[in-house]
Amino acid sequence: MQRYSKVVVLCVVAMVLCIFTSAFLDAQTPPKSAASAAKKPAVSKSAATSGGTSDQVFKNVQVLKGIPLDDFLGTMGIMSASLGMDCSECHIGAGTVKVDWAADTPIKIRARQMVQMMATINKTNFGGRQMVTCWSCHRGRDRPLTTPTLENVYGPPGQEMDDVLTNQPGQFTATQVLDKYLQAIGGADRLATVKSWVATGKSATFGGFGGGGRAQIFAQFPDKRASVTDFPGSPDRGDETRTFNGTTGWLRTPLNVVGEYELTGGELDGAKLDAQLSFPAQIKEVLTDLRVGLPTTITDLPAPSSQTKESGVAVSNQEKLVNVVQGRGPRGIYATLYFDQASGLLVRMVRYGKSPIGRIPTQIDYYDYRDVGGGIKMPFRLNFAWLDGRDTIQLSEVKLNVPIDESKFGRPAPVSTTKGR
């Protein structure tokens, strides 16, 4: 039996993930859990910051060994999402002062067995291809359903698409869809003149922990990008920084399990793709192996009420008719792009990182396209959703072709160990 309604579970999952892997601390009312998680790191900091693998960084990793730290944390997101659980259902005291990530619990041991079972199923039946994942069976429940309900059989059909699309005949070609997009945001020639940009605005992290943050994005052609969210009014809160300098990427999220670390897995590929697509003129070179799916309808993710209030931007839950193009980016990661049929604009991208237990999805929704000079248009609102939480950035200003110091894209300053930790 599922123990909680889906909504409650998702909220709890997102909150806890948010606290441990991407949250900010509210200086006035620090959640105890996050502060204590930081005080009791279950990690080897040096292994983490030098891009060490899961079993080098953590104490009790037995099956998900030898994988990049970002992918390992992604597997925890997949387990939580697939089973509709939060971290504390497998980890003693997650979310309290007594968190002990390494300790085994019966359910954690069961989850470990499931990883092995899943790998065996895939090996024995699908030539080692990752066809069966936790989600294949669990679908947000701790115990999978066994019997089709007639409601399901005769009810409205599910909307979910395959992760990996095959070319559908009779549709626009990928080139046509991408050309329409480039035309809609200013035309290939004008876009090719953009070699850097700096954007400023505000951020509202899911749950309100990030409310009131200042957001900055720096981008340098062809593939450098940094995004920084900080709190000028309360510097003790720390900032969240993601950087990619064309080769290496870093993630700095104060008070999470690890703090600051080098990206070496799927998050590195994702960071590179985000950087490359910051300059859409090169989209047809960046994405390879293009295929077009059937046109479909997408709906905005419902915004958490705290975020709607704090950011002052209501999400309309609008439905959009979209053309769908999928391609492969850095190191072959899949990215699915959704283009508004009427305007041609890119309204959503879902990219998929790799992990031993399934793909790790990250979704970015783009809204509020505005002219940033010379007929070039850029989205001023970005909604990020990943397994660890959500973030909205509302930009107020974008400046094109401004010089950016190279250091912006490098390793962020280490997380302070003196303040609030």
Footprint of ligand HEC (CB under 6 A): 16-17, 20-21, 42, 58-64, 76-77, 79-80, 83, 85, 87, 89-91, 101-102, 107-108, 110-112, 114-115, 118, 132, 134, 136-138, 142-144, 257, 357
Q: What long-range pairs does 397-400 form, CB within 8 A, spacing at least 24?
A: 397/199, 397/200, 397/201, 398/197, 398/198, 398/199, 398/372, 399/197, 399/198, 399/199, 399/372, 400/194, 400/196, 400/197, 400/372, 400/373, 400/376
Q: Give dist(CA 321, CA 342) in Å, integer.
A: 8
313 DSSP 8-state letter: -
In the complex, least distance from residue 240 CB atom to ligand HEC, rounded to whole angstroms:
16
In the complex, least distance from residue 353 CB atom to ligand HEC, rounded to whole angstroms:
15
Closer residue to ligand HEC, CB minimum distance, 17 or 174: 17
Closer residue to ligand HEC, CB minimum distance, 26 or 388: 388
Closer residue to ligand HEC, CB minimum distance, 85 or 325: 85
Q: How many residues does the chain have?
A: 421
Which secondary-structure segment (H or E) carries 137?
helix 134-138
In the complex, least distance from residue 113 CB atom to ligand HEC, rounded to whole angstroms:
8
In the complex, least distance from residue 386 CB atom to ligand HEC, rounded to whole angstroms:
12
In the complex, least distance from residue 404 CB atom to ligand HEC, rounded to whole angstroms:
33
Closer residue to ligand HEC, CB minimum distance, 64 or 182: 64
In the complex, least distance from residue 262 CB atom to ligand HEC, rounded to whole angstroms:
17
The answer to whether the peptide bond before residue 222 is cis (omega within 30 degrees of 0) is: yes
In the complex, least distance from residue 87 CB atom to ligand HEC, rounded to whole angstroms:
3
Q: Give dist(CA 229, CA 212) in Å, integer.
A: 10
Which secondary-structure segment (H or E) carries 269?
helix 266-277
Q: Give dist(CA 152, CA 269) in Å, integer.
A: 37
Q: Give dist(CA 351, CA 201) in Å, integer.
A: 24
Tokens matching residue 239:
């900032």
Closer residue to ligand HEC, CB minimum distance, 10 or 313: 10
Residues 6+ apart with CB under 8 A from 279: 191, 194, 219, 221, 222
In the complex, least distance from residue 393 CB atom to ligand HEC, rounded to whole angstroms:
23
Closer residue to ligand HEC, CB minimum distance, 114 or 287: 114
Closer residue to ligand HEC, CB minimum distance, 116 or 288: 116
In the complex, least distance from residue 43 CB atom to ligand HEC, rounded to whole angstroms:
7
Tokens matching residue 20:
């441990």
Q: Give dist(CA 81, CA 74) in Å, integer.
A: 10
- The CB-side HSE value for 219 (13 A sphere, CA atoms) comes to 24
Please give the distance of CA 381 from its chain centroid, rounded to a whole number: 16
Closer residue to ligand HEC, CB minimum distance, 118 or 226: 118
Closer residue to ligand HEC, CB minimum distance, 12 or 286: 12
Q: Give dist(CA 98, CA 363) in Å, integer.
A: 33
Closer residue to ligand HEC, CB minimum distance, 117 or 294: 117
- Exposure of 335 by Cβ count < 10 A (0-12 exposed, 13-18 middle, 19+ buried)? buried
Classify each residue of 188-218 as buried b or exposed e, where b means 16 or more C-beta atoms within 10 Å of its C-beta. beebeebebbbbebbbbbbbbbbbbbebbbb
In the complex, least distance from residue 124 CB atom to ligand HEC, rounded to whole angstroms:
12
Report the interhelical angle of 266-277 vs 69-83 (nearest 10°): 100
Closer residue to ligand HEC, CB minimum distance, 132 or 161: 132
162 three-class SS: coil
In the complex, least distance from residue 331 CB atom to ligand HEC, rounded to whole angstroms:
23
